[in-house]
Amino acid sequence: MAKKQQSKKRKSSRNSPQNPSFKNAFGLVSAILSYVNRFAKRASQFFSRSKKQSTKRWKKTVRLIKKRKKALSLFINKKTKKVNRSIQKIKKNFFLKSQRKKIKTKIKKRSKKYQQKYKKQLKFLKLLFSVQSSSIYLSLFITLIILGGSWWTYSNIFQDLPSPTELTERSQILTTRILDRNGNLLFRIYEDENRTIVPLSQISQHMINATISIEDQSFYNHRGFSIRGISRAIWANISKDRLEGGSTITQQLVKNRLLDSEKTVQRKIRELILSILVEGTYSKEEILQMYLNQVSYGGSTYGVEEAAWRYFNKPAKELSLAESSLLAGLPAAPSVYTPFGSNPELSFRRQEEVLRRMVEDGFISIEEAYHAKQTKLEFRPDVIDIQAPHFVMYVKKLLVEKFGEDTLNKGGLEVRTSLDLNLQKQAQAIVTQEVDKVSHLRISNGAALITNPSTGEILAMVGSRNYFDFENDGQVNVTVRPRQPGSSIKPLVYALAFESGKKPWDTIEDTPITYQIPGSTPYSPRNYDGAFRGKVTLRQALASSYNVPAVKILASLGVQNMVERGKEMGISTWTDSSRFGLSLALGAGEVLMTDLSTVYGTFANNGYTVELDPFIEIRDHEGEILYRNPCFTNPDNCRQLQTVEPLAAYQINDILSDNRARASTFGEFSQLYIPQQQVAVKTGTTNSMRDNWTIGYTSDRLVASWVGNNDNSPMSFVASGVTGASPIWNQLMRLLLNDQDPHQFVMPQELIKVRICASTGTLPCAECPVVIEEVFVVGEEPTEACNWRHFVQAETEHLLPIGERERVL
């Protein structure tokens, strides 16, 4: 029982990332280096001992030779002396001559014998010494080879060997996905590799089985590499006209994630070692999941999730057997087997091979393989995959400012935006259609922006008539380009007037005036039609967009005050107030459509300025929330910056939604009128006919539209926007309010609506030709009624504007 538990512990520890023996490659390196050090130490001791013994023997032999040489010399000298004495005796005895010769010969022979013996001993000793020296050198040479080999192995194999845990610890290049508010994909942002990580549970089982069959049949049986797989690949490449690789799935994962693609022996050895370590660190399922999210499927498409979208426009979990078998065959040679290449038949041959392998491995039956082969695959067109391109590029710029270029291109962010893709498509179609209708008026471009003023959400952004119209600079996003707003800036002037104490029923002279400004030419504002209407109410002046009253009001308030208030309300282009004069009241200062929408959104939002925010939520690749729009969950979170007094904001809303007040200029049923709905709207056209605007809103929807030309060339005459931007605005606003309950702006409790005589500003009488409703502060409403004398005086002074007499309640 204890042995079983121990074996279970060993088995579980092998698959555990915490196992110290497999935690990284340094344990194996340390073991090998320790063995090499012990071997080198023993070899050194052996050779050192052998050298000492050899030296000792050599010295002893030399001493022996010298001793024998000395003995031989003494012997020769002794014999020589003896011979000499004998010779002396022979000399004395002449008759002993023959004996003398014999002795001499004998001595020479003996001397020669000793010399030869000495030479043989010396030669043997030299030979013995040379052999011992060679063994020392050989041992030293072998030691150097072992040490050199060990050093080469360490420096080329184990030095800087990555840890297998880096498969999960090392950051991976991931794709940032930009989505609309409903999760529809708008665009993918990536640097080189388009990849989205998904768990194994989100991948079709057909795809998993097909990958194992074609890439690594023994995946669940080997421990990192397969001798059988390598042998089979070599045989297939030699004997058949078919490309196969011998690397296991684990080896491919190691090569792609931890090593370079260099084809060398040392890289292959490192690959094998790391594969063994990876198998001991991760489970088979974890390895397979990492592989399927890592491998290339052609071009910039990496990972099975993006491959499924790229080829079949669906997530990986929905891949069929036919689709899976084709995708599984791509990683071996994506450029060869791609169905979009010059030889698409190769991809289908590869698919057949995958299906055959799946049958061999028992994953599918022959009938299933045949059916999959006969299935006609519907590929996604090979086109640029981008929706709402102007909005996407706008969002991309903001993301770079928030997180940086590197995080955006490689971080795998999931960006859920406020855009409604269905609404965006309808808005784009309307802009294109309406611009085409007025092309005879020298209008080549149009733009539109739809927002929620209470939260700052951008629901649609149409930056041009056609993003891909390069002839007319279609890629330029007009919604974020400075353009003159014309009369559409006037509500800001009147809001300041109402805050200063003016009332909508107050009158002002619409008469000629010239301003003498030091250092500049005299300025004489004129109305768009060249006419003057005498005394008019502020309601009439704003609703009918008279120019002269607006300039007179700004002159009394000061240009600097308007510039400062404009910046507070969101206008980012008014950075230098010294550039502007009284013509600022008529739109001489350039603005962005996004900024002007924020200004109008302030009025819709009861005086609170809410900056536009195209994001709902941003998450990192692990699902952690990096940013969440606080206004999306609760609009009250955005009611912190009040730039316009609520009473003034409502007065602007009431005037801009007063269809009868503007009827004398635009007509009773113009493009600015939406039946059954209280909608505030204002037009704007520059004097040079280069920009034409219409901006209107309810409490929770705002639409801004523009027509003109990107090259700033003038249009033909466009009557007060009615035949220019207004049709675009009208269709978009009707689209938003379709099937909606009637809308009314909420009136502050401090205000009250009272029926008055339009000509006198008093309570109506029987003689009053036109009765209207006007907004008053409670306690300031009129208490006296008009009488016939008012109308006699009014007729005399021509107080009643043209058309007012025909207006009825």
Note the pLDDT of residue 271. Answer: 75
Model confidence over 104-116: pLDDT tens digits? Answer: 676 666 666 666 6
Note the pLDDT of residue 16. Answer: 39
Domain boundaries, the chain: 14-158, 187-374, 457-737, 751-806
Sheet containing 615-619: which strands, arranged edge to edge?
185-189, 176-179, 414-417, 615-619, 625-628
Note the pLDDT of residue 22. Answer: 41
**Distance separating alpha carbons of residues 237 and 235, to the nearest angstrom:** 6
For the cut 60, the answer to whether the pLDDT of residue 28 exceeds it is no
Model confidence over 339-380: pLDDT tens digits? Answer: 887 788 899 999 999 999 999 999 999 999 999 999 999 998
**Distance separating alpha carbons of residues 740 and 260, to the nearest angstrom:** 61
Contacts (Cβ under 8 Å, ≥6 apart) of 379: 311, 312, 339, 340
For the cut 70, the answer to whether the pLDDT of residue 125 exceeds it is no
What is the rounded radius of gyration, in angstroms, for the C-alpha atoms of the chain? Answer: 49
pTM, rounded to two decimals:
0.74
Cβ-contact 225, 231 below 8 angstroms: no
Segment 313-335 mean pLDDT: 93
Q: Please, what CATH class does the domain formed by 457-737 belong to?
A: alpha beta
Tell me the residue type at 236.
A
Model confidence over 576-609: pLDDT tens digits? Answer: 988 999 999 999 999 999 999 999 999 999 999 9
Cβ-contact 292, 303 below 8 angstroms: yes
Q: What share of the chain is helix, strand, coil (3-state, %, to 5)?
A: 50, 10, 35
Distance of CA 615 to the CA centre of its chain: 15
Note the pLDDT of residue 43. Answer: 54
**Distance separating alpha carbons of residues 595 and 559, to the nearest angstrom:** 19
Q: Is the dihedral of CA 536, 538, 543, 544 positive or negative?
A: positive
**Distance separating alpha carbons of residues 463 and 428, to the nearest angstrom:** 9
- Burial code (b: 16+ CB inside 10 Å, e: under 16) for 48-57 equals eeebeebeee
Cβ-contact 162, 259 below 8 angstroms: yes
Q: Which helix (H) or strand (E) holds 535?
A: strand 534-537
Name the DSSP class of 302.
Answer: B
Model confidence over 753-762: pLDDT tens digits? Answer: 999 887 778 8
The encoded tokens of residue 277 equal 């370590």
Contacts (Cβ under 8 Å, ≥6 apart) of 544: 661, 662, 664, 665, 666
70 or 452: which carries more pLDDT confidence? 452
Helices (H), 481-610: 490-499, 538-543, 547-557, 559-568, 593-604
Contacts (Cβ under 8 Å, ≥6 apart) of 288: 200, 208, 211, 212, 219, 249
- Of 746, 463, 710, 450, which is closest to residue 600 (Cα–Cα)? 450
Segment 314-325 mean pLDDT: 95
Name the DSSP class of 613.
Answer: B
**Distance separating alpha carbons of residues 249 and 216, to the nearest angstrom:** 6
DSSP string, 616-674: EEEE-TT--EEEE-HHHH-GGGGTT-B-S-HHHHHHHHHHHT-TTTSHHHH-TT-TT--
- Of 414, 446, 402, which is closest to residue 427 (Cα–Cα)? 446
For the cut 70, the answer to whether the pLDDT of residue 784 exceeds it is yes
pLDDT confidence tier of residue 257, bands split at 50, 70 and 90: confident
**Distance separating alpha carbons of residues 243 and 233, to the nearest angstrom:** 8
For the cut 80, the answer to whether the pLDDT of residue 121 exceeds it is no
According to DSSP, the β-strands at 445-452 and 625-628 are: unpaired
pLDDT confidence tier of residue 62, bands split at 50, 70 and 90: low
**Distance separating alpha carbons of residues 366 and 382, to the nearest angstrom:** 32
Question: Which residue matches tokens 């952690």?
Answer: 624
The encoded tokens of residue 351 equal 């698919």
Distance of CA 144 to the CA centre of its chain: 53
Angle formed by the axes of helices 249-257 and 265-281, to 10°?
Answer: 110
Segment 460-465 mean pLDDT: 97
The encoded tokens of residue 39 equal 């071997």
The encoded tokens of residue 27 equal 């344990």
512 or 193: which carries more pLDDT confidence? 512
**Distance separating alpha carbons of residues 134 and 49, to the nearest angstrom:** 15
Tell me the residue type at 667.
G
For the cut 60, the answer to whether the pLDDT of residue 35 exceeds it is no
The encoded tokens of residue 628 equal 């969440």
Compute the C-alpha angle 637/640/642, nearest 5°: 140
Note the pLDDT of residue 212. Answer: 94
- Burial code (b: 16+ CB inside 10 Å, e: under 16) for 772-783 equals bebbbeeeeebe
For the cut 70, the answer to whether the pLDDT of residue 99 exceeds it is no
Share of the chain above pLDDT 70, in %: 73
Q: Which helix (H) or strand (E) holds 508?
A: strand 507-510
Three-class SS state of 711 = coil
Segment 786-804 mean pLDDT: 53
Cβ-contact 229, 244 below 8 angstroms: no
Cβ-contact 114, 72 below 8 angstroms: yes
Distances (CA, A) of 638 to 110, 533, 651, 701, 809: 128, 42, 22, 16, 38
Cβ-contact 170, 285 below 8 angstroms: no
Same fold, 187-374 and 457-737: no
Superfamily of domain 187-374 in CATH is Biosynthetic peptidoglycan transglycosylase-like (1.10.3810.10)
Tell me the residue type at 201.
S
**Distance separating alpha carbons of residues 112 and 45, to the nearest angstrom:** 45
**Distance separating alpha carbons of residues 374 and 372, to the nearest angstrom:** 5
Cβ-contact 481, 590 below 8 angstroms: no
**Distance separating alpha carbons of residues 455 and 615, to the nearest angstrom:** 11
Name the DSSP class of 520.
Answer: S
**Distance separating alpha carbons of residues 502 and 400, to the nearest angstrom:** 45
Distances (CA, A) of 720 to 185, 545, 602, 716, 743: 39, 9, 24, 12, 26
- Of 653, 682, 674, 672, which is closest to residue 737 (Cα–Cα)? 674
- Burial code (b: 16+ CB inside 10 Å, e: under 16) for 498-531 equals bbeebbbbebbebeeeeeeeeeeeeeebebbeee
Q: What is the 3-state secondary structure (H, E, C) of 686-699?
A: CCCCCEEEEEEECC
**Distance separating alpha carbons of residues 298 and 295, to the nearest angstrom:** 9
Q: Which helix (H) or strand (E) holds 185?
A: strand 185-189
**Distance separating alpha carbons of residues 598 and 451, to the nearest angstrom:** 9
The encoded tokens of residue 475 equal 């890629």
Question: Which residue matches tokens 């590869």?
Answer: 350
78 or 505: which carries more pLDDT confidence? 505
Note the pLDDT of residue 129. Answer: 54
According to DSSP, the β-strands at 176-179 and 414-417 are: parallel
Q: What is the mean pLDDT of the chain?
A: 82
164 or 526: which carries more pLDDT confidence? 526
Least confident of 146-160, 180-194, 514-528, 755-769: 146-160
